[in-house]
Chains A and B, each alone.
Chain A
Amino acid sequence: MEKIIEINNLYKRFKDIMAVDDLNVNVYRGDVFGFLGPNGAGKSTTIRMLMTLIFPAKGSIKIFDKPLHENRNYILSRIGAIVEKPDLYNYMSAYKNLEMLGRLSGRPIGKKRIEEVLELVGLKERAKSKVKTYSFGMKQRLGIAQALIHDPELIILDEPTTGLDPQGMKEIRELILYLSHTEKKTIFLSSHILSEVELVANRMIIIDKGKTVVEGEVSELLKTPWIKVEIETDEPVRCAGLIKNSGWGTGFESVKDNIVTLNMEKELIPEINKFLIENSIKVYGLTPKRSLEEYFLNITEKGH
């Protein structure tokens, strides 16, 4: 399979801090690659190095099988990226931003393409409004639009759902899946929210303090059957009592407000739903949660 991104022995130091410490990453064509790590792990630093915004202290980066710095313009013409929050020219409209940035992307961008992209990210109606009038979510979508304007093969998204509400997050997820499955793009997705990545990525790497913790297929890495589940109900105390006295009792964790939290096997979620309903507990929500920190602890304890 064709390697799109190949990072070998990458280092970057800022004064006393080793931000990236001997990082190795391989991304293949067609991947939705999850690049995960807690805050300060070195994700944004790595992405900035991919985009030539900062210079590595040591190591090599190849993209499309070409060394990055020697083929910068060629490579960047085939990449679209959001690096951290998307800051655009506030005094220009979305349309103008895309028109101007499109012209710098190495290929001619016509009016039709701009309108296509705006429609794709759901901003067609507000195309002529100045960016300073946009909400955070709209700016995020416009950021994605500027990454897509020149139809790149590789899309790098640095925490694209940060600050978005659940609906916004869902829209971004659906867009990523569309770009991957329909447009056949390779996507490099950075995040500190495992559950978000889990829903879209096929491969992932987790880094911490600049180093690789684990890398591989998502399905393999997240095979652990146990998962944290949050149950939303208007009778949290009675619900908690039922769970404690049932076969799921060993996984019970806490009750807070209207939420009962327990750890259980993912496949048994429909069972517990049925159990609670049979016991006249009104279940308003049943949400599986997997935090990165928990996963870390999990893989560390289980020796991954």
Chain B
Amino acid sequence: MKNLIGFELYKIFRKWRSYIGFIAITLLVLVVETAMYFEGDKYLHFLTRSLQDTFFFTGNLLNGYLIAYYVLGALVIHIPFLITLVNGDLLAGEATMGTYRMLLSRPVSRFQIITSKFLAGQIYSFLLIIWLGVLSIGLGTLLFGSGELIVVQDVITVFSKDDVLWRFVSAYLLASLSMGVVAGLAFLFSSLVENAIGPIISTMTIIIVFLILSAINIDFFRALKPYLFTSYSMDWRLFFGSEIDAGEIWKSIGVLSLHIAVFYSVTLFIFKRKDILS
């Protein structure tokens, strides 16, 4: 299985499209950090405007952590697309190239092939998120230094400097689980077709539709919301609450993991029974 996963990762990173995600993230982070370099004071003023009449501030709030937090918030729409680009191609790409026949004629089971591809896709997605984290925090702290992190949710919370990093690590881990669901869905669609465009568009369509449904303030859709995986895509923010809501975090982990497991299982079920005609 290790050989297979290594082979799949090798194939992923031999394709130019796999680097689009990393390049896009690099550019996103650079653009945001450049903007913050010139306009960061205004942004911070905007965040703390409500307090400035009453309070005097000291210390470096415009630091790498603040920027990393802001960048992480961009996950909702942008990163899923980058993930579907690769995961949507994992199976459909083999069909397009015609390499299914050769791959499946090897003495490796379909279970091994599906599992290795699935895991390779998840690893890719994880690496993409980690790259986001390393770049935003690393470059951010290099340019802006570190310091306390101010987060405005339902309350204003300022986390002390040594209380921030573990939150980011946890947040990125939860975020990568959330992106793992996107990867799993794209992978499932990829097993159904012979062209990668279909899975990419289908996955993004589902994400956008779910986000729209979540935003509609009608009882029916509000009842539906807990069952939509997009409802949990911003739950990494739970690690930046004034109090850590462990129950909600575990619920998120459970729901997201369940989605991943279901997408994987359905893909495996379909693929094991599929006639390879391409």
Contacts and interface: CB of A to CB of B under 8 A. Distances in A.
Whether A and B touch directly in their complex, counting CB atoms under 8 A apart, is answered as yes
Interface of A: 48, 51-55, 72-77, 79, 81, 83-92, 100-101, 103-106, 146
A75 to B, nearest CB: 8
Of B14, B102, B103, B277, most buried by chain A (CB within 10 Å of CB) is B102
Contacts of B98: 85, 87
A53 B102 CA distance: 10
A1 to B, nearest CB: 25
B3 interface: yes
A54 B277 contact: yes
28 contacts: A48-B276, A48-B277, A51-B101, A52-B104, A53-B105, A53-B275, A54-B275, A54-B276, A54-B277, A55-B273, A72-B109, A76-B107, A83-B105, A84-B101, A85-B98, A87-B98, A87-B101, A88-B102, A89-B11, A89-B99, A91-B14, A104-B7, A104-B106, A104-B107, A105-B106, A105-B107, A106-B107, A146-B102
B24 interface: no
Interface of B: 3-4, 7, 10-11, 14-15, 97-109, 273, 275-277
Shortest beta-carbon contacts, A-B, top 8: A87-B98, A77-B107, A76-B107, A54-B275, A53-B276, A73-B107, A104-B106, A106-B107
B15 A83 contact: no
A100 B14 CA distance: 13
A55 B272 CA distance: 10
Nearest to A104: B106
Contact of A100 (B7, B15, B105, B276): B7
A40 B168 CA distance: 60
Contacts of A146: 102
A87 B97 contact: yes
Contacts of B10: 100
A81 B105 contact: yes
A88 B99 contact: yes
Q: Taking chain A's interface residues, is the majority helix, strand, or loop, or is none over half, making it mixed? A: loop
B15 to A, nearest CB: 7
Nearest to A100: B7
B274 to A, nearest CB: 9
Contacts of A73: 107-109
B237 to A, nearest CB: 40
Contacts of B277: 48, 54
Contacts of B99: 87-89
A271 B155 CA distance: 105
Given A53-B275, A54-B276, A89 B97 contact: yes
Contacts of A79: 105
A160 to B, nearest CB: 14
Contacts of A75: 107
A84 B7 CA distance: 24
Nearest to B97: A87
B108 A53 contact: no
Nearest to A53: B276
Contact of B4 (A52, A85, A92, A104): A104
Given A87-B102, A91-B15, A146-B102, A72 B107 contact: yes
B268 to A, nearest CB: 16
Contact of A53 (B14, B15, B104, B273): B104
Contacts of B273: 55
